[in-house]
Amino acid sequence: MLKKVIFQSLALSFIFTFSAQSAESGGMPQLNPEFWISQIFWLILTFGLLFIILSKFILPKISNNLETRKSQILENIETADKQREETEKKVKEFDKIINDTKVEAKNFFNSERQKVLDNINDKRLSLEKDIEKEILKAEEEINQLKTTSQEKVTKIAIETSSDLVKQLIGEDINKSSLSAIVEDLSKKEMEKHNGI
Amino acid sequence: MAANPMYQFNVYRIGPEIKINNIDISFTNASLFMVISSLAILIIFNLGTKRSIIPNKIQLLSELSYSFISKMISDTAGSKAKPYFSFIFSLFMFVLFCNMFGMIPYSFTVTSHIIVTFVLAAFIFIGVTIIGFIKHGLGYLKLFVPSGVPMVLLPLIVVIEVISYLSRPISLSVRLFANMMAGHTMMKVFGGFVVSLGIVGGWLPLGFSVALTGLEILVAFLQAYVFAILTCIYLNDALNLHH
């Protein structure tokens, strides 16, 4: 602090001695007091006007601009936060909906599959029954056919054999005896055919 | 005459002589550059007041300088100095623009005149002192009595403090004036060397001159900043009595 003071007083004395010399050597124009008053006057005028215009008109506008920008940015950030929260909520809801629908779809699929399976089972059962019936019918028919065909075969055999005998011998033979022989033979053949 | 490095600081009348009550207040080249600087500040900052959320370049410039000075004040003088913002802003801009306009060749540097800087500094000094006395009354005199000083040393310290306080306007004005004057004189001297040494030896001082121009632009900004920040510090002393 003291150093500064000494330095300043030295500088001042330097300036003033300089000013004393300036009269003859031209020296520093700064120390020529001719225009000092004019400079002070114009300084006060220009700086005063500058200060008044800046403080009254320009600086409030700039600070206003800065503040509105700040508040707008804050507002925007707030709304952005809100919207982000909302979207997060919506995303959660959406996820929930998707999960629910997934579960529903699974359940629906399962129940439908069960239904279809049941249906298929029912149909198969009824079909099996029908088939069994048909088989039974067919077997009966076959049995019937078997018995009837045997009779028919024996009949045909008796007739053909009687015809053959008639042509060979030229007279009728007692049909009952023929039939007895044919039956006996056919029984033997049938037994052989059936593998007894 | 033009080779004289001090010639650039000459003040001369532009236009007619204006006299009020026998006091000469003629329009001079110094007045011209004060007007030019003020107009430039007003134009630039008025262009920067456009209301738009995304600023253009000039708006960005004005807003950045606004926040720069606002931050400087709140850092050095605290929140109590808010009402003095526009004064310090105008002061900083005025000094900065005067310094910068002085860097244009053949222009005139307003702040290289002791009377200009001294009036500014004296105004600041008186203003700060008045603010101090209004805020703290006679308690403002405690500024000269630092706490924690031994009683033996107190008279000496008080004397030193008073002298340092009273020398504030001188130090403030001489700092700016001397920096400006010295820089411009030096540039002029080196420029004179370039001319006198001619094509053979003039290159070295030319290089110096170019380097000095860069340095002087830095000094122009720095001195405006120092001027403003010292004002803030003085304001801080007046507003928040720490001692």
Q: What is the DSSP string of A14-60?
A: HHHHHHHHHHHH---GGG-GGGHHHHHHHHHHHHHHHHHHIIIIIHH
CA B194 – CA B184 distance, rounded (Å)? 15
Contact A30 B120 (CB under 8 A): no
Nearest to B241 by CA among B74, B128, B157, B122: B128
With respect to residue A31, please indicate whether it lies within any of the assigned structural domains.
Answer: no
């929140």: which residue's tokens? B79
Domain count, chain A: 1
Residue A1, pLDDT > 70, answer: no
Specify if A32 maps to a domain. no
Handedness of CA A157, A159, A164, A169 (dihedral sign): positive
Task: Write out chain A residues lying below 8 Å of B41, CB-based.
Answer: 50, 54
What is the residue-averaged pLDDT of chain B? Answer: 89
Q: Does any domain span residue B204?
A: yes
Burial class of residue A33 in the structure, from the number of CB atoms within 10 Å of its CB (0-12 exposed, 13-18 middle, 19+ buried): exposed
Mean pLDDT of B104-130: 92
Return the pLDDT at A153: 78
- Residue B216 belongs to a domain: yes
- Which residues of chain A have a CB within 8 Å of the CB of B170? 8, 12
Residue B30 burial class via C-beta count within 10 angstroms: exposed 0-12, middle 13-18, buried 19 and up? buried
Query: B28 with A39: CB under 8 angstroms?
Result: yes
How many folded domains does chain B comprise? 1
Q: Are B78 and B240 in contact (CB under 8 A)?
A: yes
CB neighbour list of residue B38: distance below 8 Å, 6 or more residues apart: A46, A47, A49, A50, B94, B97
Residue A5 lies in a domain: no
Q: DSSP H helical segments within B137-167, as ranges?
A: 154-166
CA-closest candidate to residue A29, choices B184, B192, B25, B113: B113
CA dihedral for B121, B122, B125, B130, sign (positive or negative): negative
Nearest by CB: B23 against A37, A42, A59 = A37
Please give the span between the terminal C-alpha atoms of chain B, in angstroms, as a whole number: 53
The model's confidence at residue A14, banded by pLDDT at 50, 70 and 90, is low
Chain B residues touching A66 at Cβ < 8 A: 63, 66-67
Grouping H, G, I as helix, E, B as strand and the rest as coil, residue B16 is coil
Whole-number pLDDT of residue A15: 54
* φ, ψ (nearest 5 deg) of residue B23: -105, 130
Digit-coded pLDDT (tens) for A83-101: 999 999 999 999 999 999 9
Partners of A28 on chain B (C-beta within 8 Å) are: 6, 9, 181
Q: Give residue A106's pLDDT.
A: 94
Query: Based on C-alpha coordinates, what's the Rg of chain A?
Result: 67
Place of tokens 């001297």: B189
- The answer to the question of residue A84 being in a domain is yes
Which residues, at least 6 apart from B108, have a Cβ–Cβ distance to it below 8 Å?
B8, B9, B11, B29, B30, B32, B33, B102
Beta strands in chain B (DSSP E): 19-20, 23-24
Residue B94 lies in a domain: yes
CA B234 to CA B226: how far, in whole Å? 12
**Token code pair at residue B39:** 């107009």
Higher pLDDT, A20 or A32: A32
Q: Are B106 and B7 in contact (CB under 8 A)?
A: no
Residue B1 falls inside a structural domain: no
Q: Which one of A41, A45, A68 would you mutate to disrupt binding with B, by most B Cβ within 10 Å of its Cβ? A: A41
- Interface contacts A/B by beta carbons within 8 Å: 146
Most confident of A61-65, A107-111, A188-192: A107-111
Structure token digits, residue A180: 């007895």
The model carries a pTM of: 0.71
In DSSP terms, A91 is beta-bridged to none
Q: Is A50 among the domain residues?
A: yes
The arithmetic mean of pLDDT across residues A49-54, rounded, is 94
Chain B interface test: which of A51, A67, A68, A74 (most B C-beta within 10 Å): A51
Subunit contact B24:A35, Cβ cutoff 8 A: yes
Domain containing B208: what range?
7-239
Q: Pick the residue with more confidence: A42 or B16?
A: A42
Q: Which residues constitute the domain of residue A141?
A: 38-194
Candidates A36, A67, A70: best to mutate against B (most CBs of B within 10 A) is: A36
Indicate whether B231 belongs to any domain: yes
Contact yes or no for B114 and A15 at CB 8 A: yes
| Nearest residue to B66 (alpha-carbon basis) of A74, A42, A69, A75 | A69
The answer to whether residue B119 sits within a structural domain is yes
Whether B2 is covered by a domain: the verdict is no
* Assigned domain for A134 exists: yes
The one-letter amino acid at A108: F
Residue B109: helix, strand or coil by DSSP? coil
Residue A26 counted as domain residue: no
Q: How far apart are CA B158 and CA B143, in angstroms?
A: 9
* Nearest-angstrom CA–CA distance, A70 and B79: 19
CA distance B69 to B92: 8
Band of the pLDDT at A132, cuts 50, 70, 90? very high
Does residue B153 form part of some domain? Answer: yes
Lowest-confidence region among A79-83, A154-158, B95-99: A154-158
**Out of B13, B31, B120, whose CB is closest to A42?**
B31
Residues of A in contact with B85 (CB under 8 A): 59
